[in-house]
Structure 1
């Protein structure tokens, strides 16, 4: 039995194609994600030869020196801009063990089959290959959500994507078979003079509603949402919006990696250690 799809793949391609030409004016969120990924990559003391930029947007990610980069994007225009191929993250066209580094910034929260995408990422990695990812997580766009709740209090509709908790993200890495999985979160706050500017940014980064079950938003509801957004503003007239960025790190399993100690392999008991501590021994 196939898993029901919550995101409209065709609409996603179209919106990414529309966003491509003006993306540079709205790329602050992905830039923050890439900064975090590059910071984590800088702490890794090894070289990489074959890199996959998964969800490449305009190809702004710079691979490590000397590495070859393949790029994939769900939108034709972004893939063409970056010199990559068009495809979906949960339907990768690459052979197993093709890369020693996979980077993905800003797309996994829009993928229908996130567990499947992570499993495919692990499969295209060589043993001891590294995955570094970033995506929007739970707690994002709180001001926008609150505005829609006020605007459509009597007949609420799904306007924003489901969001993944950081703990669930770590569990997904483990389920996909990654070794040494780590998921952590960083908060980015952006202040807007009005709801229209926020929506303009979301459109410009191809981040608007892609749910299969989309419903039209009336002008009256949009006006009520804009008023609610404005009422949440600080004294200077700007409303703070929140973006929770979940960073993912995982390694393709390899016999050379550190392994957790076997159960029962400890040489001293916890009870003995506590007793020594209490007696000052």
Structure 2
């Protein structure tokens, strides 16, 4: 019964891309190797700890935005990223009646499904687990009330296109919630790696993926067609025993580099130099090394007649000059 209910949310094969691959994309520039990223997430599915403080903090902060909204969201789509943290938090919220959990990694979807069935907190939420790619969203238009992506969309080659597809999947007055890593993420590691490469190799090559800047987030929401866009930023500092422990954490999260043009072999002496420079430049008094994770939170609504709209241009009844005069007299 559950399968029959949710199947109508998915696009039929006749409406999909003409490409035979389910992971095809219309992006002309492939910054990231999507197959490599799927492989990394397959590995992360079994390396990721049951309770990762960073991932759960970001997931909880993202879902806290639902508390500021009075309406309910009976059907929700959860895309990639921190799937386990998001689905666990969602199970404590009674408003969600139907949930689709989707990831490009089969192993990640399987891990989430296993966790769901092993949960000691059974609920009445109809849940479907789907293998699919954010770059080609297999969801019918106007079919879900809520789309959530927690730390996943920053790996797409066509971020505006992925957000447009999310907007189309939403019903009118549906809500889009997303958290992506921002450009200040791992700034310490970027500096240490650059210095090490200059010293050992006489030049630099990209080792850490490019990430969106805060100033771009609002434009992305507007370009995707969302109304009432909202953007805010948090920075989290995580302390590690060493730079190598940081790398292991990134690997367990599935957040290691996936650049298409990346030189895959990092020389051993360069890697050791990076760790040494990281420690010498950023180590704290207690011997730990910090790593910065900048998270950009984005919210946007699909257009609906009930939403607030800006007044017609030229309809103002008070001029800025009058306002300035009034407040100037009060001072």
- Taking structure 1 as the reference length, what is the TM-score of the superposition? 0.95
Secondary structure of residue in 2 paired with 1:103? strand
Q: Where in structure 2 are the equivalents of 1:249-264 lying within 5 Å?
A: 249-264=299-314
Structure 2 residue 251 is matched with structure 1 residue 203 = yes
Q: How many residues align?
A: 281
The corresponding residue for 2:97 is: 67
Structure 2 residue 190 is matched with structure 1 residue 145 = yes
Shift, 1:260, TM fit = 1.1
Structure 2 residue 149 is matched with structure 1 residue 104 = yes
Structure 2 residue 229 is matched with structure 1 residue 181 = yes
Question: Which stretch shifts more, 129-138 or 74-83?
Answer: 74-83
Question: Which stretch shifts more, 33-42 or 121-130?
Answer: 33-42
The corresponding residue for 2:57 is: 32
Shift, 1:80, TM fit = 2.1
Partner Cα separation in structure 1 for residue 74 and residue 130 of structure 2: 19
The corresponding residue for 1:218 is: 267
Structure 2 residue 28 is matched with structure 1 residue 3 = yes
Structure 2 residue 327 is matched with structure 1 residue 277 = yes
The corresponding residue for 1:234 is: 284
The corresponding residue for 1:76 is: 106
For the aligned residue pairs, the C-alpha RMSD in angstroms reads 1.7
Question: CA 1:85–1:193 in 2, change beyond 3 Å: closer, same or farther?
Answer: same
Q: Is the 8 A contact 1:55 1:105 kept in 2?
A: yes
1:26-63 deviation per Cα after TM superposition (whole angstroms, max 9, x unaligned): 73332122111121111111111110011163343415
Partner Cα separation in structure 2 for residue 61 and residue 179 of structure 1: 26
Shift, 1:25, TM fit = 5.2
Partner Cα separation in structure 2 for residue 160 and residue 262 of structure 1: 46
Shift, 1:24, TM fit = 2.1
Question: CA 1:280–1:146 in 2, change beyond 3 Å: closer, same or farther?
Answer: closer
Partner Cα separation in structure 2 for residue 234 and residue 2 of structure 1: 43
**Which structure features the higher share of helix residues?**
2
Alignment gaps of 5+ in structure 2: 1-25, 114-128
The corresponding residue for 1:85 is: 130
Partner Cα separation in structure 2 for residue 119 and residue 273 of structure 1: 39
Partner Cα separation in structure 2 for residue 264 and residue 95 of structure 1: 39
Residue 140 of structure 2, aligned match among 67, 83, 95? 95
Secondary structure of residue in 2 paired with 1:54? strand
Partner Cα separation in structure 2 for residue 192 and residue 24 of structure 1: 16
Give 4+ residue runs of structure 1 displaced > 4 Å after superposition: none
Shift, 1:280, TM fit = 4.8
The corresponding residue for 1:194 is: 242
- Taking structure 2 as the reference length, what is the TM-score of the superposition? 0.81
The corresponding residue for 2:70 is: 45
Partner Cα separation in structure 2 for residue 214 and residue 273 of structure 1: 56
Partner Cα separation in structure 1 for residue 109 and residue 167 of structure 2: 22
Q: Is the 8 A contact 2:181 2:295 kept in 1?
A: yes
Q: Is the 8 A contact 1:50 1:100 kept in 2?
A: yes
Partner Cα separation in structure 2 for residue 41 and residue 88 of structure 1: 25
Secondary structure of residue in 1 paired with 2:184? coil
